Amino acid sequence: MQLFFVDKLRVVKISINRIFIRGSRFDRDMHGAQLANLISELMVE
């Protein structure tokens, strides 16, 4: 596991190593980015 801090954005990214290459036929977590599209359309005030 790796942590990445972006102080200017007040963001912490957590990256977890995968057993299989992302997008390979053995990858079972290929749909998480679909939620990112919905979140990107939210209005933040």
- 7-23 confidence digits (pLDDT tens): 999 999 988 887 877 77
Euclidean distance between the first and final Cα of the chain, in Å?
33
Q: Using the predicted structure, report yes or no on whether residue 33 has a pLDDT greater than 80.
A: no
Domain assignment of residue 10, yes or no = no
Give the domain extent around 29: 21-45
- What is the pTM (predicted TM-score) of this model? 0.42
Domain assignment of residue 29, yes or no = yes
Q: Using the predicted structure, report yes or no on whether residue 32 has a pLDDT greater than 70.
A: no
Mean pLDDT over 25-36 rounds to 69
Q: Using the predicted structure, report yes or no on whether residue 27 has a pLDDT greater than 80.
A: no
- The residue with greater pLDDT, 24 or 1, is 1
Q: What is the pLDDT of residue 35?
A: 67
Nearest by Cα to 1 from 13, 12, 17:
17
Please give the tally of structural domains in the chain: 1
